Amino acid sequence: MPYDLKPLGLSFQLAFVTTGILLVIGIPLAYWLAFSRNKLKPLVEPLVSLPLVLPPTVLGFYLLLAFSPKYFLGNFLESSLGIRIAFSFLGLVIGSVVFSLPFMVNPLKAGFQNFPVSLREASYVLGKSRWETLRRVILPNIKPSLLTGVVMAFAHTLGEFGVVLMVGGNIPGETRVASIAIFSEVEALNYDTANFYSLVLVALSFMVLLIFYYFNRKPIQTH
């Protein structure tokens, strides 16, 4: 194979890791947003959705500053733990998690809010805790929302450019994901390579959506 597959590998690695982390963070956060009556909620909701409206380069810029060794947080992490976040895969993961957060949280939140209260109450009355109810009653019945969250977060991470470029810096083999690689190859006039990466991304994205719609299909009501 004449083409370097590393960028594709990195893209998918990033998407999988990000989606996995978002599932772990997203479910509790969406649950809290859906059911809590905490006064902080009106602040948190716009914060979560911020990445939807923010130009990716803005977010990438601030993340870069935050993690750069020149400033407080990056400095602390580097000197005491030896971790450098800027221009590393870890930085990409953090950036992607923040940037794809609403794509996981919002469908989950909607799923929780649309879940019938009486089913939750039925579970509580049977002596089950909120955690057990979430695990055994709510989540199994909001599979469409779960699937939406997973697919959207995955697809969105695959397609990221601005944040990844800022925080990652286009380092071959480490932070040069497919979306960035395509840009670089076009700049270098290697249209063949750019085309290869693009086609693979289109094909895989299409397959992901195909699977998504297949599993989400609703039977046509006949009455």
Partner 1 sequence: MTRILSAVTLMIKIRVKRQMKTPQGPRLLDVDLEMGIGEFVTLFGESGAGKTTLLRMIAGLTQPQEGYIEVEGEAWFDSRRRWSLPVQQRRVGFVFQEYSLFPNMTVRQNLQYALADKSGGPGIEEWLQAMDLKGLENQKPDQLSGGQKQRVALARALVSQPRILLLDEPLSALDLNLRLRLQDEIVKIYQRTKITTILVSHDVSEVLKLSGKIFVIEAGRIVRSGDPREVMVNSNLSGKFKFAGEIVEITKDGVVNILTVLIGNTMTKVVATDEEAAALKIGSKVIVAAKAFNPLIWECAG
Rule CB under 8 A: which residues touch partner 1? 116, 118-119, 121-129, 136-137, 140-141
Residues 6+ apart with CB under 8 A from 194: 181, 182, 185, 186
For partner 1, the closer of residues 131 and 187 by Cβ is 131
Per the rule left: phi > 0, alpha: psi between -120 and 50, beta: everything else, 82 is: left
CB of 20 to partner 1, least distance (A): 23
For partner 1, the closer of residues 101 and 108 by Cβ is 108
Element (H, E) at 78: helix 72-81
CB of 27 to partner 1, least distance (A): 17
For partner 1, the closer of residues 119 and 188 by Cβ is 119
Closest CA to 154 of 89, 107, 217: 107
CB of 136 to partner 1, least distance (A): 7
Report the distance separating Cα 76 and Cα 70, nearest Å: 10
Report the distance separating Cα 53 and Cα 124, nearest Å: 39
For partner 1, the closer of residues 63 and 137 by Cβ is 137
CB of 126 to partner 1, least distance (A): 5
